[in-house]
Amino acid sequence: MPIKKNVTPPTATKVQKNITQHGKTRRDDYAWLKDVNWQAVLKDPSKLDAAIRAHLDAENAYTNAVTAPLAQLQEELFQEMKGRLADDDSSAPMRDGPYLYYRREEAGKQYPIYCRKADESADEEVYFDVNVAADGLDFYKNAALAVSPDHTMLAIVEDTNGSEIYTLRVINIATGKQVGQSVSGLGGSLVWANDNKTLFYTIVDDNHRPCAVKRHVLGTDPSTDKEVYREKDAGYFMSLGKSSDDSYIFLRIGSHTTTEWRFMKANKPTGTFDVFAERIDDEEYDLDFADGTFYIVTNKDGAVDSKICTCPEATPGRANMVDLVPYQQGTLIEGIHLVDGYLLRQEMHDALPRIIIRNLKTGEEKAISFPEEAFNLSLVGSYEYNTSVVRFVYNSPSTPAQTYDYDVATDSRTMVKQQEVPSGHNPADYVVRRLTATSHDGAQVPITVLHHKDTPIDGSAPMWLYGYGSYGHAIPASFSTIRLAMVNRGFVFAVAHIRGGTERGQQWYLDAKKDKKVNTFHDFIAAADHLIDQNYTTAGNIYAEGRSAGGLLMGAVTNMRPELWKMVHLGVPFVDVLNTISDDTLPLTPPEWPEWGNPITDAAAYDDIEAYCPYHNLEAKAYPHTLITSSLTDYRVTYWEPAKYAAKMREVNTADTLTIMKMEMATGHGGASGRFDSLRESAFEIALVLAIFNKA
């Protein structure tokens, strides 16, 4: 099924702009695509400059024309992928006080319905139907749904245009009526105090950065809400939460390299947030509390992959920390959870996850693990502290999610839910492998591979290679029904667990920051070369995909080795790194300097970024087919980055390949909010891939 190649693509107007930094001048002919009033556009897309809107509309019209012959295939893929989702589904109920809480989906509905019941045989109570809240809206997202400690009130933090500027409203669960006025301008984080009437929430400034915490009392005018903390450093994010036993409210303040926690008694919400341990550059810690003891996961004392310490409630602070779980190099502690008498920790060891349960009285430890070559394991924990039952979820590239309740006292597990694939799925039909590639400097890069057992491994199969490699985010070896649409059509799917993530510990991340960022790109290329060497595919027969910072990866490897890829997908891509990280007014720029370097003040950082910036390094040569997807209201990677990249790619590309940009005009960084709308986005992308690879 061919795509329509004889459509004339839009040509962006060129307006020369010269930018000088550190004695160097660069030219940016498409800088005009950044609306001078971009802050207003994020809040209200209708305020977009008319000339910019006309260009984006022309891009979308071109995309629609080129892909018009794929409409039937898109619909077939949508129905196929929809058939792998349980239309009527529900999560396994989980106890929280007097209720079992769960969520479910109903046939034909886009969004989940949140429910509870007193016990398995009791009548169901719907306490929030997202479909009702989202009715008539193009986009709807909850940042938080928080039930009050007495289970009578529901706090809802919601975004209706994808800009991640949230509004808070509280409803009485029994009546369904809103209590008091809505509160706008939130940053997406909130927590209840134990008095069931006081809420703490974060707010954002004009540049969309979390800047303060306020306290709201139900029934009072939001304009009188008291500010209880203000952060002066624009490079720090903030989030609110509670200790495992609900006795403390926590405020986490952190950059990409440094953290500081503050705490307040949850029973005394008129108090102040006290500092647990003042911030020290490049020292990170996470905090929990139960039974008179603080538990701290920290990298202090050179514990790069972290250790766990304790500290008495009476004497909080760095000086009084005592090691509980010592540092083990190469085993990254990702998080902890406390239940009565037990500490659970999730670790990443040898690029695979595991859960360790520690008896706090005896010090005895047990591990939860599974035998597959590659898998994903997630500790859910529990809503309650006074319990011995915790929850975890297991899946692998071939095995749908299995939800278990695990009794830490008896070392017994019970499967409480198996992910259903209504159209049918047999894990035995698929092969999962863990390979290792050698990068340019000898680093050993893990690769997770999934393919159908009938797919020939002789170099003839097309490859779908995915990567990310930033911010210490490890890509899990997980199950996805969406991937099956291509794997069942003969594609080999692979994830390159490249540096920049934490698959091999925190050092794996540190070795791809700032001046070492190029290691991320070399690792991805090494993974591709290894897969070719092992006859999984051939050069020029690879579909490479990355999103957000993974879009930066895609842009960089496309510039470095364009002959490897037949098609590249840059999703909400961070491709204009040099300009963005040099603009300190943008929402995420100051917080990003610890990750990428500060090219404003540091000439060496400027040189490093200049050398790999995808947009800056586009030049006249043959590029692969390029799909760029983005959103007008995305504040994380602003719309003009992909728009500029698409315009320049068309200008310099010497090959007879397509550059297609799809700009969503009413979604955010994560794409469509409804489950079926999201599937349609995937159907569009996969149909285009199948057409380019002659698999349609």
Catalytic residue among 55, 497, 569, 669: 669
CB 112 within 8 A of CB 85: no
Give catalytic status of residue 135 as yes or no: no
**What is the rounded CA–CA span in Å between residue 433 and residue 435?**
6
CB 370 within 8 A of CB 377: yes
Q: Between β-strands 659-664 and 625-631, what pairing exists: parallel, antiparallel or unpaired?
A: parallel
Number of H helices, E strands in the chain: 13, 38
CA nearest to 249, candidates 259, 239, 236, 258: 239
For residue 97 the two structure tokens come to 């006080």
Element (H, E) at 686: helix 675-692
Cα–Cα distances in Å, from 103 out to 125, 129, 281, 377?
11, 10, 41, 21
Cα–Cα distances in Å, from 537 out to 540, 625, 696?
9, 18, 19
Residues with Cβ within 8 Å of residue 132, at least 6 apart in sequence = none
Q: Round to the nearest angstrom and report the end-to-end CA distance of the chain.
A: 6
Catalytic residue among 148, 306, 439, 548: 548
Taking residue 547's Cβ as centre, other Cβ atoms within 10 Å add up to: 23
Give catalytic status of residue 223 as yes or no: no
For residue 645 the two structure tokens come to 């990249």
Q: Between β-strands 237-242 and 226-230, what pairing exists: parallel, antiparallel or unpaired?
A: unpaired
Find the length of the chain: 696
**What is the rounded CA–CA span in Å between residue 69 and residue 684?**
12
Catalytic residue among 245, 288, 523, 634: 634
Give catalytic status of residue 634 as yes or no: yes
CB 215 within 8 A of CB 225: yes
Q: Which positions are annotated as active-site residues?
A: 548, 634, 669
